[in-house]
Amino acid sequence: MIIRNKENWFKMLFVWHGSVLPKLPPRLALLFVLSVGVVFFNGRIFFFKIPLNPTPLTLFGFVLALFLGFRNNVSYDRFWEARKLWGALLNCTRSLARQVLTLPKPSIDRSLSQHFIDLLVSFTYALKHQLRDTDPQQDLKERLNETQYNFIISAKYKPVMITKLMGEWVANTHMAGRIDTIQQMRFDENLDKLAEIVGGCELIISTPIPYSYRVLLHHTVYLYCFLLPFGLVDSLQWLTPFIVVLLPILL
């Protein structure tokens, strides 16, 4: 999760990066031109006056508010689920690191422990790049040996392949007699949790809001914005274009 620094309340009014505003200017310009045309022709189309007042727009706006409220709830639920998954990832990786670093020193030397820690750190970087669809080569090359790097970089699901390498490390360590069966089971439990976290993150990123709902909301918003100038022109006159442009920003 990207955490941004808290801005002054006045600066927040002009925040551009990270908001939806960069995508709005072409649409706002279209609405502004439409509103100017509506005011100029006094709400007439081919000499026919559109008999629209703010009352039906209020009812229409209530329905729109329900749609937007549902979308906001869905978006926040996805954010909250992602927050819990990333918190679980933090706890699980800490547990695995503690398990490795507290194993008896005669049985596990420092290089063997560091090898597992490198795999664990590489897992978090690989998952981050997998979810953001970015290039993981630099982060993985710094933490994996050449054989592991070539194996992981050619895989489609890199975090899953790294859990496979960690599982092999646990199995080989158990076969060498360095850890007992109970310790192996504890490692496997945490590795299973890592796999569940990967699946949960992939579920969020691969399951967008239903397309039919997005289309319905899209049509409703545009219909409301295009009808709004006709409902405000008689009462606001030349203030209409500015109010119509301001409303989508607030939505």
CA–CA distance, 175 with 24 (Å, rounded to integer): 61
Tens digit of each residue's pLDDT (9 = 90 or more) over 192-232: 999 999 999 999 988 887 888 788 888 888 888 888 888 88
CA distance 203 to 132: 14
Is 70 exceeded by the pLDDT of residue 63?
Answer: yes
End-to-end CA distance of the chain: 24
How high is the pLDDT of residue 57?
77
C-alpha distance from residue 94 to each of 68, 103, 201 (Å): 39, 14, 19
Whether 12 shows a pLDDT value over 60: the answer reads yes
Q: Is the pLDDT of residue 1 over 60?
A: no
Query: Which of residues 94 and 209 earns the better pLDDT score?
Result: 94
Prediction pTM value = 0.75
Question: With bands split at pLDDT 50, 70 and 90, how would you rate the model's confidence at 9?
Answer: low
78-93 mean pLDDT: 93
* Angle value at C-alpha 190, between 128 and 110, nearest 5 degrees: 85
Q: pLDDT tens-digit profile of 134-189?
A: 999 999 998 888 999 999 998 989 999 999 999 999 999 999 888 889 999 999 99
Q: Quote the crossing angle between the two packed helices 146-153 and 110-132, to the nearest 10°.
A: 20
Q: To the nearest 10°, the Cα dihedral for 140, 146, 147, 153? A: 40
Helices 158-175 and 181-206 sit at what angle, rounded to 10 degrees? 180
pLDDT at 74: 85
pLDDT band at 247 (very low <50, low <70, confident <90, very high): confident
Element (H, E) at 49: strand 48-49
More confident residue, 20 or 214: 214
Mean pLDDT of the chain: 85
In the prediction, which pLDDT does 192 show? 95
Indicate the DSSP class of residue 8. P
Indicate if the pLDDT at residue 34 is higher than 60.
yes
Interval 114-143 mean pLDDT? 92
Confidence class for position 106, pLDDT limits 50, 70, 90: low
So what's the pLDDT on residue 168?
94
Query: What CA–CA distance (Å, rounded) separates 188 from 121?
Result: 17
